[in-house]
Amino acid sequence: MDFGFEGFDTAGFDVDVEEVTMKKTKKFDRVFRVSFGGSIDQRPLLFGDKIIFGSMDNFLYAVDCKSGREIWRTKASGIFMESSPVTDGKTVFIGNYDQCLYAVDPDNGAVLWKFRTGAEILGTPLAAKNSVYVGSKDGSLYCINKTSGREKWRFKTGDWIAATPLIHGDKVYIGSFDSNFYCLDSGTGKEFWRFRTGAEIYDVYPGEVIDGKLFVPSLDNNLYCLNAETGKEVWRFTAGKYGVASAPVVHNGNLYLETRDGILYAISMDGKELWRFKSGGVVALPVFSKNMIYVGSEDSNLYCLNMNGKEIWRFKTDGAVFWCPVIKDGVIYFTSWDCHLYAVDIETREELWRFATSTKTQAEWPPAYESWEAEIKKTTQIEDAISEDRYKSKHEKSVSLSDYHVKSEYATTSEYKQKSDYDVNLVIFESMLEGEDIWTSDLKVSTRPALILN
């Protein structure tokens, strides 16, 4: 922008105002590059008096809810990552990085059968009627007989599947890294429709169908609301700079959306933001109990919020809390990257016990945002900044420009005349270079950089 300083050599007055945006530059593969360790990145499963979960030390554990004592453990050939255990009431199903889906007896941990896919399993399986549905990094969604472990059908997408399937009526839904969200016949695997987003669909939690609508997250930073029958977009909600990795949790007629920016959003059913809560890292799925919200974060805390999104208390661990907790009889159970399962009294916030996995060496994986890079766009240019040596005779901490007439390209009037009869005096303080504002009587020019949310 040209300020038109008459009689003033502006050759040194040059300030650039730049906008910084985050641009996705490569495929999001962080979740498939995790090392061996004792870390836990799962939602634990409550099964009677047991709590069952897998770890990156290759073990599936069952622990007594009251005492934290180990009941059994079962070893797989690879790590248990985000594929959390689910049950049909009789059998526990869980996927592993050894490419297999396991069916396990919850009483003793015995493997009833295992089904091998073509690559790692990251998404949580879904048990419905006599079938188990699970996606694989090989790009296929599998439908497996949950009694025999035999394949019924498979549907091939164009890229990896790291998502958890959703079933509603006679349809099963799944997202893919090919950027498409698919609607299939749950009995045959026949495609009904697909909806294309702008980036990979990670979708660690599939959400649910509400009033004929479903919700699709994408790493293009949008949450999409679709008609569940037709796949037509109803609305979209843009959230953050590093992608949306999960469908929202529905509670009391509102949507609660986690984002990779570390923000938990409360959203109305028509896609309007109600409030937001900012944590210090990637935020997890929320759980609700007695008008309180419990949510974990990559910043190592489990947070308790009220229904307006205000923090009530937090519980600190030594590792990221990536998954939502489970609650039973006033006790909240949750896993941490620090290799422990925690049991905490909700009322007193007292730790009742913690259970350590077979090794306390934490697993390693790439940084959360390595698939994004900062992109700087110049939006406004204020030419001719003041050079340091131009006015050496002036006071060290300020430069007065009152001797120079300032002419604006915009004509401004006011019903309140100043004594100067609209003469404009401009004083630029040295702190302006640190982001302070420059003021005139009618014109404000800010040199603050654009706000960047982590």
Same domain, 207 and 94: yes
Is position 151 within any domain?
A: yes
d(CA 47, CA 57): 22
Task: Count structural domains, the chain.
Answer: 2
Same domain, 80 and 139: yes
Domain boundary among 369, 395, 421: 369
Is position 178 within any domain?
A: yes
The rounded Cα 383 to chain-centroid distance in angstroms is 40
d(CA 333, CA 91): 21
Least Cα distance to 122 among 153, 80, 178, 61 occurs for: 80
- Blockwise average pLDDT, block size 10, the chain, 454 residues: 38 55 89 95 96 98 98 98 96 98 98 98 95 98 98 98 96 98 98 97 93 96 97 95 94 95 96 96 93 96 97 96 94 97 96 97 91 76 45 40 37 38 37 36 34 31
Least Cα distance to 67 among 350, 343, 358 occurs for: 343
Residue 37: give its domain's CATH number.
2.130.10.10
Same domain, 111 and 212: yes
**The pLDDT of residue 92:** 98
Least Cα distance to 1 among 385, 391, 389 occurs for: 385
Same domain, 256 and 287: yes
Same domain, 294 and 198: yes
d(CA 86, CA 73): 16
Same domain, 332 and 401: no
**The pLDDT of residue 337:** 97
Bridge partner list, 8: none
**The pLDDT of residue 7:** 40
Least Cα distance to 444 among 431, 453, 432 occurs for: 432
Is position 317 within any domain?
A: yes
Contact 363, 56 (CB under 8 A): yes
Contact 86, 121 (CB under 8 A): no
Same domain, 359 and 391: no
**The pLDDT of residue 368:** 85
Same domain, 67 and 149: yes
Is position 6 within any domain?
A: no
Is position 352 within any domain?
A: yes
Contact 304, 312 (CB under 8 A): yes
Same domain, 155 and 257: yes
Domain boundary among 369, 401, 422: 369
What CA–CA distances, in Å, run from 22 to 26, 203, 242, 265?
Answer: 12, 21, 7, 20
Domain boundary among 336, 369, 402: 369
Same domain, 400 and 271: no
Same domain, 347 and 395: no
d(CA 428, CA 127): 67
Same domain, 332 and 388: no
| Residue type at 88 in one-letter notation | D
Contact 294, 276 (CB under 8 A): no
Is position 320 within any domain?
A: yes
CB atoms under 10 Å from CB of 246, counted, come to: 24
**The pLDDT of residue 369:** 87
**The pLDDT of residue 442:** 37
d(CA 41, CA 55): 7
What CA–CA distances, in Å, run from 392 to 388, 396, 398, 413, 450?
Answer: 8, 8, 11, 36, 31
Most distant CA pair in the chain: distance in Å?
Answer: 92
**The pLDDT of residue 376:** 79
SS percent in the chain: helix, strand, coil, step 5: 0, 40, 55
Angle at 449 between CA 443 and CA 454, to 5 degrees: 140
Is position 4 within any domain?
A: no
Is position 2 within any domain?
A: no
Angle at 263 between CA 245 and CA 43, to 5 degrees: 55
Scan for tokens 């009694």, then name that residue.
147
SS (H, E, C) 262-289: CEEEEECCCCCEEEEEECCCCECCCEEE
Range of the domain at 106: 30-369
